Amino acid sequence: MKYKSGSIGRVFVIKFEDGDDLNEGILQVAREAGVKAGFFHLLGGMRSAGLVCGPKEPVLPPEPAWEGFADGREILGIGSVFMKDGEPAIHLHGAVGKFGTTLTGCVRKDAKVFLVVEALMMEVTGIDAKKVVNEKTGIAMLELG
């Protein structure tokens, strides 16, 4: 385990509207505001998304197990923003559900908002943290400087 101490910087309230690309929108806010490290919470509705719901087998490097939906679902999510190769990169996990069925995983693609998603992004300042591709896993993982 490794850790660093930082402070909460600026706080952003974001309203995503019907049809918005959720992942791209979070990245856009981070780019435009210059957020280099932070965390966000979100809730609302999703039209569609592709999620990685775990590895197919618990081996390294992992092969992702993809699930998706395009039938409109509720979402609760939490994610991080850190720099990767000089650009913000996000890691968003969410639970999406409809009629008692829930998918939980890493929201990676085709993340289109249904009606509205409200998000709160909190910038973390005073730390040196970034995403670096790990040779063992092949995945960009958090590295603390």
Instruction: Give the pTM.
Output: 0.94
* H or E segment and range at residue 118: strand 101-125
- Indicate the pLDDT class of residue 21, thresholds 50, 70 and 90: very high
Mean pLDDT of 72-94: 98
With CA atoms as reference, report the closest residue to 77 among 54, 101, 111: 111
Q: Could you tell me the residue ranges of all domains in the chain?
A: 7-144
Note the pLDDT tens digit of each residue in 46-71: 999 999 999 999 999 999 999 999 99
With CA atoms as reference, report the closest residue to 88 among 29, 40, 45: 29
Q: Is the dihedral of CA 84, 126, 108, 2 positive or negative?
A: positive
Q: Which CATH architecture has domain 7-144?
A: 2-Layer Sandwich (3.30)
